[in-house]
Amino acid sequence: MKPHALVTNDDGIDSIFLHRLVDALLPDFTVSVAAPAFEQSWIGRAVTRHGEIEVIQSPSFFPTGVEAWAISGTPSDCVNIALGNLLPQLPDIVLSGINIGFNTTETLILSSGTVAGAIEGALWNLPAIAFSKCVPNHLFANIQQSNGQTEGALTDSLSSAAEHARRIALETLKQPPAKGTVVNINFPASTNADSPTEQTVPAKVHLGSLYAQSSPGKYSFRYSDGITAEPDPQSDREALERGSISRSILDFARIGQRS
């Protein structure tokens, strides 16, 4: 029997990056999808406390055999609702992504809805992986606005990333990380079949202000690459610069414990 993977993301259920992940998983996994009905980037681990969350079954979005739900909530909502209400039994693994853009550094990791979806799986003591794909800065806005539509070499790079994701998911099931941890995977802009994987730690980057005044008394979000606070050759950012796949272990099981 194939292992069962629950898949989510924060770019929305119609993201092509999510669909490529599902396509790559299908030869080896039974796949269920519980993803936001619309983009939920930068939402972190937000949970919808007020109001109702709508859950719509949407099998037409995916190949035959994939059970899928579009959910009007955050990635954390999606995984929690699926695990607690939609699936008849817990899956073998929770996979989140592939995110449009990297989720590196402490600040971006803690802000990421994609990482948060994996965290929710880890909180249920399930193996959990967040997958994110570096996208060249000059292409990012267009790719995000087109729900992950890519062309040429970047399409091949995404396909390679999805195949690596399938392999990593299988390897993680064979050797699960400690309970309460999340495997955070970032793929380089030019991912290919031979891209090496490096064990990394989140880069320490100071992003500074993420807002600029847009009109009197009002401020709008403005992304910043930030300044590296503590250079580390084994950071996730450095690994991506070398063209490697970054693999970091985020250990939430030790929060509040003495070392």
**Which residue has tokens 């699936």?**
87
- Tens of pLDDT, residue by residue, the chain (259 residues): 899 999 999 999 999 999 999 999 999 999 999 999 999 999 999 999 999 999 999 877 788 899 999 999 999 999 999 999 999 999 999 999 999 999 999 889 999 999 999 999 999 999 999 999 999 988 998 999 999 999 899 999 999 999 999 999 999 999 999 999 999 999 999 999 999 999 999 999 988 888 999 999 999 998 888 888 888 999 999 999 999 999 999 997 665 444 3
In sequence order, what are the beta bridge partners of 5?
31, 93
Report if residue 257 sits inside a domain.
no
Q: How many domains does the chain have?
A: 1
Sequence-distant (6+) residues with CB within 8 A of 234 are 198, 199, 200, 201
Which residues span the domain enclosing 91? Answer: 4-251
Instruction: Please tell me the distance from the alpha carbon of residue 51 to that of residue 37, in angstroms, as a whole number.
Output: 16
Instruction: Please tell me the distance from the alpha carbon of residue 210 to that of residue 200, in angstroms, as a whole number.
Output: 26
Report if residue 130 sits inside a domain.
yes
The DSSP string of 108-152 is HHHH-HHHHHHHHHHHTT--EEEEEE---HHHHHHHHHTTS---H
Q: How many CB atoms are located within 10 Å of the residue 211 CB?
A: 11
Listed in order, strand segments (DSSP E) in the chain are: 4-8, 30-36, 55-57, 67-71, 93-100, 128-133, 181-187, 197-200, 204-206, 211-215, 218-221, 227-230, 245-251
Say which CATH number the domain at 19 has. Answer: 3.40.1210.10
Find out whether 232 and 204 touch, Cβ atoms under 8 Å. yes
Report if residue 259 sits inside a domain.
no
Find out whether 210 and 221 touch, Cβ atoms under 8 Å. yes
Torsion angles phi and psi, residue 38, rounded to 5 = -145, 165
Report if residue 256 sits inside a domain.
no
